[in-house]
Amino acid sequence: MIREVLVYPDRRLKTPAAPVATFGPALRRLAADLLDTAREYPRTVGLAATQIGAMWRVVFVDCTGHPKVPDPLGPTILVNPRVVAADGAETGREGCLSLPDITADVRRPVAITVEARDLDGRPLRVEVEGFEARVVLHEIDHLDGVLILDRVASLARDVFPRRSGRGKRSPGAVLVERAATLARLAHAGQRYNESPYTDHLEAVAGTLREHGVDDPELIAAAWLHDVVEDTPVDASAVSEEFGARVGAIVSAVSLPDWPDQDAARRDSWTRIAATPAAVVVKLGDRVANVRTGGPKARKYVGQQEAFRAILAGADAGGFDAQVARLWASLDAALAGLES
């Protein structure tokens, strides 16, 4: 039977599972459900019982056909699995059906030995390495209530929004999504590490909730504004319109024909250009104004060349390269908040 896959922040995903003591028909039904459910999701290489709300120590793994696994175990059910040996360590990208919006870089052993039971209760010993070891460890983590976000070294650097298919997204859109994911985590009252970065996000979320703002997207927008502008948002003024505006500002930074500023404001913009996060917001704000015919749009007409010159600066790569640098700097700034 195909079962519903629980999605974070369902509490069961954070709850440890109990060892199986009875090897009977109920266990066989659970194993069949795991297999049926996993097969519903193309390219799924593993599923833990806790992900379908069955709080028993049972996982299903199947790396058949995966390009990184030349000699796979094939479809395997591990009951009461236990890692008895582990060797090496490497970082790799992981996804999870229970965290559908993200992928994350996680450091894990390269080769492991696992002891478990099969469906009849017979002892089973498997030795796996590389990607397949990663899959087995990921699923065993689920049985302990551990998700990939608990395993990342840095929420700022190691968590990535999933591509939703339609072409390459702008750095700004990616940033908004990353903020939204983090805001959802804070919003759900979950802490994923003990960093000031999380504290900061929770503080913003808490203040907004006091003002009746409960929408994760708005919380994300406010937090983002707070980070890049380095000034707190007026919580009482946060509205859907505000969320839309911040979203527009940030996504606008990848538009190619953003406006320039006149020479009279060159110094001011040179100062802003020294603060990458400020550039993202300030330039984006102006782009959004021009693109949407906003109230300030008229002011920017004819200022293109001077502005372009400021940002082209030392790099002939132009705006894309500038945004890439801004993005890297912002990542570094976020990482700085964590340390």
- 132, 139, 177, 202: which one is catalytic? 139
CB of 196 to Zn ion, least distance (A): 28
Residue 135 interacts with Zn ion (CB under 5 A): yes or no:
no
Q: Which residue, 96 or 288, has its beta carbon nearer to Zn ion?
A: 96
Residue 96 interacts with Zn ion (CB under 5 A): yes or no:
yes
Residue 140 interacts with Zn ion (CB under 5 A): yes or no:
no
Tokens describing residue 263: 């020479």
Q: Which residue, 59 or 273, has its beta carbon nearer to Zn ion?
A: 59
Residue 5 interacts with Zn ion (CB under 5 A): yes or no:
no
Residue 185 interacts with Zn ion (CB under 5 A): yes or no:
no
Residue 208 interacts with Zn ion (CB under 5 A): yes or no:
no
Burial zone of 123 (CB within 10 Å; 0-12 exposed, 13-18 middle, 19+ buried): exposed
Separation of alpha carbons 208 and 274, rounded Å: 30
Residue 27 interacts with Zn ion (CB under 5 A): yes or no:
no
Which residue, among 160, 192, 196, has the nearest Cα to 336 in the 3D structure?
196
Give the interface size with Zn ion as a residue count (CB under 5 A). 1
CB of 85 to Zn ion, least distance (A): 23
Q: Assign residue 14 a region (left: φ > 0; alpha: ψ between -120 and 50; beta: otherwise).
A: alpha
Strand pairing class (111-117; 76-87): antiparallel
Element (H, E) at 80: strand 76-87
Residue nearest to Zn ion (CB): 96
Report how far Cα 79 is from the mean position of its chain's Cα atoms.
30
Q: Which residue, 142 or 282, has its beta carbon nearer to Zn ion?
A: 142
CB of 235 to Zn ion, least distance (A): 35
Annotation marks residue 139 as catalytic: yes
Separation of alpha carbons 10 and 13, rounded Å: 6
Q: Report the catalytic residues.
A: 139
- For Zn ion, the binding residues (CB under 5 A) are 96
